[in-house]
A = this chain, B = another copy of it.
Amino acid sequence: MTMYDVVGLGNAIVDVISAADDSFLLEHHISKGVMTLIDGSRAEQLCRAVADPQEIAGGSAANTMSGLASFGAKAVFVGKVKADRLGESFQRSLRALGVEYSVEPASGGPPTACCLIVVTPDGHRSMNTFLGASREIGPEDIDAKMIAAAQILYVEGYLWDTPDAKSAIANAIAVAKRAKRRVAFTLSDPFCVARWRDEFRALMADLDILFANEEEAKALFESDDLDRVVQALRLWTGIAVVTRSEKGCVIVRGDDTHVLDAVPVADVLDTTGAGDQFAAGFLYGLTHGKDLAQSGRLGALAAAEVISHYGARPETSLRASALKQGLL
């Protein structure tokens, strides 16, 4: 008997969102519309500068767990915060989103990770990410009982960064394998794939489900030809989900190939988190008796919801939308 549908392992980041105009970006040397990694002192400085910020639990895998909760799934997140104000904010926010969380906050070391998001009046989001305590995760943070109690272990590639984080992932995968659970991994971004290509390729032997967008999948197989990627995935034993933005997605499990349309969206406002939410819908389907195509349709529905507004988490009940569309 499992207690959880999915346990997600990733960077625990608080999104700190505030509105400001372009002069604020200029004054604080923030690159407009992109994501920049920043250090602790700059994070502190920017945190002091922004007015009236909204705080919400973020990070790729945590967003996916939020999406799963919105579908009504039992999702739990594993990631590291510090015992500081933002760390408490992360835990409170994640629980409010319906996701369980019980990792012991670090008492020392760098402060809780945050992503300072400045939204300008033209709707652009300029992101400044300080990874802080999220990089301090280690094998000691892996609760074997919890991993064994979830149908699927889901790991974000962004986490593949420090030796301790890799040990934590290896540890979690070993536990999941012993408990005969499935292991899912998302490639996170093409640069991440470029940095860790050989290690990710080796890791695939242990995976049951791989999420990648088209660019990440092409980077993994070092090909700019989509069909070569699809044919390579066909020889793999797991389920591969390749998302293609408005082109839909391709799902491959051996000879079982599915080609799905994207769900049309009248006004695409902010594509942040589309991949995270696709994964949420797909994993909800897989853990609730749906086949590959049905699960893919749930993924497409969740991705369409999140790109139709600002922000990386669903704003309406994905369960209600899926029921309305006859997908559940």
Residues of A within 8 A of B (CB): 225-228, 230-231, 244, 247-248, 250, 255-261, 293, 296
5 new A-B pairs (CB below 8 Å) besides A225-B261, A231-B258, A247-B248? A225-B260, A227-B258, A230-B258, A231-B293, A259-B259
Question: Chain B residues near A247 (CB, 8 Å)?
Answer: 244, 247-248
Going nearest first, the 6 A-B pairs with the smallest beta carbon separation are A255-B255, A257-B257, A247-B247, A226-B261, A227-B260, A230-B259
Least distance between A236 CB and chain B CB atoms (Å): 15
Give the secondary structure class of A's interface: mixed
Question: Chain B residues near A260 (CB, 8 Å)?
Answer: 225-227
Question: Chain B residues near A228 (CB, 8 Å)?
Answer: 293
CA distance A24 to B261 in the complex (A): 41
Chain B: CB-nearest residue to A292: B227
Least distance between A233 CB and chain B CB atoms (Å): 10
Question: Chain B residues near A225 (CB, 8 Å)?
Answer: 260-261
CA distance A256 to B227 in the complex (A): 11
Among B226, B261, B293, contact of A259 (Cβ-Cβ < 8 Å) = B226
Ordered by A's residue number, 17 sampled pairs between the chains whose C-beta atoms are within 8 Å are A225-B261, A226-B259, A226-B260, A227-B258, A227-B261, A227-B293, A227-B296, A228-B293, A230-B257, A230-B259, A231-B258, A247-B247, A250-B259, A255-B255, A255-B256, A255-B257, A257-B259
CA distance A259 to B248 in the complex (A): 12
Interface centre among A228, A231, A259 (most CB of B within 10 A): A259
Instruction: State how many copies of this chain the complex holds.
Output: 2
CA distance A112 to B82 in the complex (A): 82
Question: Chain B residues near A231 (CB, 8 Å)?
Answer: 258, 293
Question: Chain B residues near A256 (CB, 8 Å)?
Answer: 255
Chain B: CB-nearest residue to A252: B257
Chain B: CB-nearest residue to A244: B247
CA distance A255 to B36 in the complex (A): 44
CA distance A256 to B244 in the complex (A): 20
Chain B: CB-nearest residue to A257: B257
CA distance A228 to B261 in the complex (A): 10
CA distance A225 to B227 in the complex (A): 21
Q: Is the CB of A259 within 8 A of B296?
A: no
CA distance A255 to B255 in the complex (A): 5
CA distance A7 to B51 in the complex (A): 72
Q: Is the CB of A248 within 8 A of B261?
A: no
Question: Chain B residues near A296 (CB, 8 Å)?
Answer: 227
Least distance between A231 CB and chain B CB atoms (Å): 7
Question: Chain B residues near A258 (CB, 8 Å)?
Answer: 227, 230-231
Chain B: CB-nearest residue to A247: B247
CA distance A260 to B227 in the complex (A): 5
CA distance A250 to B252 in the complex (A): 13
Chain B: CB-nearest residue to A260: B227
CA distance A228 to B260 in the complex (A): 9
Least distance between A220 CB and chain B CB atoms (Å): 16
